[in-house]
Chain A
Amino acid sequence: MTQTQVRDTGGRPVLVIGGGIAGVTTAVEAAEAGCDVILVEKLPYLGGRVARLFRYFPKLCPPGCGLEINFRRIKINPRITVLTQATVDDISGSPGDFQATITVAPRFVTDACTLCDKCAEVCPVERPDDFNLDMDRTRAAYLPHRLAYPPLYVIDRVACPSGCTACRDACAYGAIDLTQQPARRTVKVAAVVAATGWAPYDATKIDNLGFGRYPNVVTNVMLERLAAPDGPTRGRILRPSDGQPPASIAFVQCAGSRDENHLPYCSAVCCAASLKHVTYLRDVYPEARITIFYIDLRTPGRLEDFLQKVTADERLTLIKGKVAGVEEDPATHDLMVTAEDVMGGRKITQTVNLLVLATGIVPQTDGLPAGFALDEYRFVAHSNGGTGMFAAGCVTRPEEVSATVQDATGAALKALQAVVRSAHHG
């Protein structure tokens, strides 16, 4: 299995854009088959959206479970070049002979970093913690998260006071270089794989559900952080308004998905995600009253068993009918959610302490270099031809982690074919 046993493909490298589970999988699969890989990630760490989950399907293990082994595969494989805080600006050329321009933003921290945390201790300013979806703050000198790979601190220079050198002065290893400049490099590659993944739909656009107006309306991705032990509430899932444990929680399915005014397509994973969230809540709050408002509960394949298991919970109510009105009690910050109970044939208003919007998946195709064909919903259309430009993961369609990994393995194979072709012809 190690790269030394594999014959070199002899061609140009593969460029993988995006360092989430799709990009990381594509990179290690291609590299372990003998091909050089340049893995470009715009954030300072790999792992993408999966790193921000509390647990994930199918085994409901923490993200470290799958990511750590992959990080290790990257670390020991000299064929993989990881560029974090990097973006691909432009791709030109033809299959087998692409030229890509990459901009790498400075990290201001070198490989000499030992994660001693001294820089963060002396740092005088804070910044919103984007890893925790801005629900708490870090210093401007920070480690993105506990399992960050590469395991290096980062300096957010935008947040720094001008002229401040406190972190550099405090670093005993000389690992901080505040003079670093953005670097631009041009690489020749044989194939490109877009694995830029997804972003949660902007819930403030769903104006009748109160997100952004009422503090106790959160999204499903926020709930993952609230449930995570390294999240803003250390896994205790507390209400944003008062830090109290919620006694009643409701989920709004299809918050923005399957809606021509928002995302016309089904985001595919939100139903299973909400059921998973019920298990998070149940672990912390055995007595909490939980309601899921849904249009259709879509749990294909083996998830059907998971649905049966979760819905056996007696304090979980499923109501067929989409929540279309949310109001807040200004005194308690509780939420009054209104839906028509389709089975009961009447409108109901339920008061809950916490409301979770099951927001959907938006493909991250805006920053992609030209050359990728997009479909009508702005996902990358799969290409099987000889374009040399492929895609994997949620940038191609909404899908769960395991499907993404399979997708990424397929993309690696397509990229390898392009590399081998170019090695023979070029």
Chain B
Amino acid sequence: MADTLVVTPDITFIREVMASGGEDLKKCYQCATCSVVCELSPDEAPFPRRQMVYAQWGLRDRLMADPAIWLCHQCNDCSTRCPRGVRPGDVLAAIRQQVVLHYAAPRFLGRWLSQPRSIPLVLGIPAALLTLALLARDRVADALGLSVVPTGRIVFAYSSLFPRWMLNGFFGFFALLAFVAILVGVLRFWRAMRAAVPADRRGQPVAGLISSTLSALARIVTHRNFASCTTARSRFVSHVCTMFGFIALAVVSLWVITAAYNPLIRGDFVYPFSFWNPWKILANVGGVAVLAGCCLMIRDRLRENGSASSSSYADWALLFTLLLVTITGFFTEGLHFMRLEPHRHVAYFVHLVFAFTALMYLPYTKFAHLAYRGAAMVFAERYGQTREASSMAPVNRQDAQQEG
């Protein structure tokens, strides 16, 4: 009791958490049922009971530097058991949104994207940028001495409107911006987490950075955390579908984008692929998986709504963006196989707008969870804050009490 804690509540933060899913936050009476029923909560640093009181008190800075916020996978086991109907799962989800906003670089983009009224501009900006790129296409091509007609090994472009160099240049530029933004955010998050660990023995790393990363990756790939959920059991399936589907699409896209410089490819690289090309099959399977995963998630969110969990704008925004990217993708593919002009150009344009929305806004939307949760999971491995590491802790105070 020697330390004096001066609590400076961040009232705005409390209001924002309550507005984005944690409306019953103040009802929590700290019984800690949540921390016990949570299958992911480690013994030595249990959550979410402590995070609930921090949020009630408006201790924003502590929460912004707390990896436990991201170790939660929103199984909602806590929410169904909560005696006060507070839904800690939703409160932590609301805090995660605040973390994304907090580390967003530049910050105004996060605020802007978190509001439903921004939707017209959110979609309008990529549409306008793409239109500008199209209008400037011929002039840029002349200046750089490039051809607007598909050349090389590409026999029939998805859309003759968009030459490869233009797409690669356009998306490459914005992807670089997005990458820098998320990297800045995650590095700031990591530094904050590092600063928040105690300076004593417990604050020392227990594993190397590489081995921590590998452990966290194994955990992510196997979906071990999702598998331990009781209430949101189906989230395991839907996240596996969405994540691996998305990875499949990303791999195929990278393969195509880098094809021109790929020494492994000899001879003709025929793009777009034929329907039975293995790459095309992988892409289609991936697309179907994302579609199925998103539909499952939407079904679960509608079903849970109001009971175990309620969904916020950020949840729906990410789900529908991914869903629309996939749907417009399949639409374009269909029109392309039917060789419908100019329909396939229009569909492709719309698809590109949604692809931009999903990927380029990633650092500012719920999609950023892949970076922040990933970082928090690596951090938890490195500093022994996973459930497994914690339960192996040598001294259990209760045991000591029993002996004494």
Closest chain A residue to B29 by CB distance?
Answer: A295
- Are B35 and A259 touching (Cβ within 8 A)? no
Complex contacts, B37 vs chain A, CB 8 Å: 208, 324-325
- Are A347 and B83 touching (Cβ within 8 A)? no
- Are B31 and A347 touching (Cβ within 8 A)? no
Asked if A366 is at the interface (CB within 8 A of a chain B CB), the reply is: no
Asked if B164 is at the interface (CB within 8 A of a chain A CB), the reply is: no
Complex contacts, B84 vs chain A, CB 8 Å: 259-260
Asked if A308 is at the interface (CB within 8 A of a chain B CB), the reply is: no
Asked if B41 is at the interface (CB within 8 A of a chain A CB), the reply is: yes
* CB of B72, distance to nearest CB on chain A (Å): 15
User: Interface 1/0s, chain A 116-139, versus B by CB < 8 A?
Assistant: 000000000000000000000000
Q: Contacts A260-B85, A350-B398: A325 and B46 contacting too (C-beta < 8 A)?
A: no
Asked if B16 is at the interface (CB within 8 A of a chain A CB), the reply is: no
- Are A342 and B43 touching (Cβ within 8 A)? no
Asked if A339 is at the interface (CB within 8 A of a chain B CB), the reply is: yes
Q: Which of A289, A296, A324, A341 contacts B33 (CB 8 A)?
A: A324
* CB of B49, distance to nearest CB on chain A (Å): 6
A35 and B306 CA atoms in complex are apart in Å by 54
Complex contacts, B402 vs chain A, CB 8 Å: 289, 350-351
- Are B397 and A348 touching (Cβ within 8 A)? yes
A295 and B44 CA atoms in complex are apart in Å by 20
A320 and B398 CA atoms in complex are apart in Å by 14
Q: Contacts A346-B43, A347-B41: A254 and B31 contacting too (C-beta < 8 A)?
A: yes
Chain A 275-332 residues near chain B, CB threshold 8 A: 289, 295-296, 317, 320-325
Complex contacts, A324 vs chain B, CB 8 Å: 32-37, 81
Interface size class of chain A, counting residues whose CB lies under 8 Å from the partner chain: 20 to 34
User: Interface 1/0s, chain A 334-355, versus B by CB < 8 A?
Assistant: 0000111110111111110000
A338 and B41 CA atoms in complex are apart in Å by 12
**In this complex, which of B34, B36, B46, B402 has the most chain A Cβ atoms within 10 angstroms of its Cβ?**
B36
Chain A 346-370 residues near chain B, CB threshold 8 A: 346-351
Chain B 374-404 residues near chain A, CB threshold 8 A: 396-398, 401-402
Asked if A188 is at the interface (CB within 8 A of a chain B CB), the reply is: no
Asked if B30 is at the interface (CB within 8 A of a chain A CB), the reply is: yes
Q: Contacts A324-B32, A344-B397: A258 and B46 contacting too (C-beta < 8 A)?
A: no
A262 and B46 CA atoms in complex are apart in Å by 25
Q: Contacts A342-B32, A346-B397: A259 and B83 contacting too (C-beta < 8 A)?
A: yes
Asked if B50 is at the interface (CB within 8 A of a chain A CB), the reply is: yes
- Are B398 and A321 touching (Cβ within 8 A)? no
- Are B50 and A345 touching (Cβ within 8 A)? yes
Complex contacts, B35 vs chain A, CB 8 Å: 324, 340, 347
Closest chain B residue to A260 by CB distance?
Answer: B85
Q: Which of A261, A317, A342 contacts B83 (CB 8 A)?
A: A261
- Are B44 and A321 touching (Cβ within 8 A)? no
Q: Which of B30, B46, B82, B401 contacts A346 (CB 8 A)?
A: B46
A351 and B29 CA atoms in complex are apart in Å by 26
Complex contacts, B42 vs chain A, CB 8 Å: 347
* CB of A367, distance to nearest CB on chain B (Å): 28
A317 and B45 CA atoms in complex are apart in Å by 22
Q: Which of A260, A261, A342, A350 contacts B49 (CB 8 A)?
A: A342
Closest chain B residue to A259 by CB distance?
Answer: B83
Chain B 242-297 residues near chain A, CB threshold 8 A: none
Complex contacts, A344 vs chain B, CB 8 Å: 397
Q: Contacts A340-B49, A347-B41, A348-B396: A321 and B32 contacting too (C-beta < 8 A)?
A: yes
Closest chain B residue to A264 by CB distance?
Answer: B83
Closest chain B residue to A257 by CB distance?
Answer: B83
A323 and B37 CA atoms in complex are apart in Å by 10
* CB of A372, distance to nearest CB on chain B (Å): 28
Complex contacts, A342 vs chain B, CB 8 Å: 30, 32, 49
A208 and B31 CA atoms in complex are apart in Å by 15
- Are A349 and B49 touching (Cβ within 8 A)? no
* CB of B172, distance to nearest CB on chain A (Å): 48
- Are A260 and B30 touching (Cβ within 8 A)? no
Q: Which of B34, B83, B397 contacts A260 (CB 8 A)?
A: B83
**In this complex, which of A322, A347, A350 has the most chain B Cβ atoms within 10 angstroms of its Cβ?**
A347
Closest chain A residue to B50 by CB distance?
Answer: A345
A324 and B36 CA atoms in complex are apart in Å by 6
Complex contacts, B41 vs chain A, CB 8 Å: 347
A200 and B391 CA atoms in complex are apart in Å by 36
A323 and B31 CA atoms in complex are apart in Å by 9
**In this complex, which of A208, A254, A346, A351 has the most chain B Cβ atoms within 10 angstroms of its Cβ?**
A346
- Are A317 and B46 touching (Cβ within 8 A)? no
- Are B43 and A295 touching (Cβ within 8 A)? no
Q: Which of A259, A340, A350 contacts B36 (CB 8 A)?
A: A340
Closest chain A residue to B391 by CB distance?
Answer: A347
Q: Contacts A260-B83, A261-B83, A346-B46: A340 and B32 contacting too (C-beta < 8 A)?
A: yes
Closest chain A residue to B86 by CB distance?
Answer: A260
Complex contacts, A349 vs chain B, CB 8 Å: 396, 398
**In this complex, which of A261, A322, A323, A340 has the most chain B Cβ atoms within 10 angstroms of its Cβ?**
A340
- 12 A-B pairs within 8 Å (CB atoms) are namely A254-B83, A295-B30, A324-B33, A324-B37, A339-B32, A340-B46, A340-B49, A344-B397, A347-B41, A347-B43, A347-B46, A348-B396
| A contact residues vs B (CB 8 Å cutoff) | 208, 254, 258-262, 289, 295-296, 317, 320-325, 338-342, 344-351
Known: A322-B36, A324-B36. 17 other contacts (CB 8 A): A296-B29, A322-B33, A323-B36, A324-B34, A324-B81, A325-B36, A340-B35, A340-B36, A344-B397, A346-B44, A346-B397, A347-B43, A347-B46, A348-B396, A348-B397, A350-B398, A351-B402
User: A-B pairs with the 6 shortest C-beta distances?
Assistant: A259-B83, A324-B36, A340-B32, A340-B35, A322-B31, A347-B43
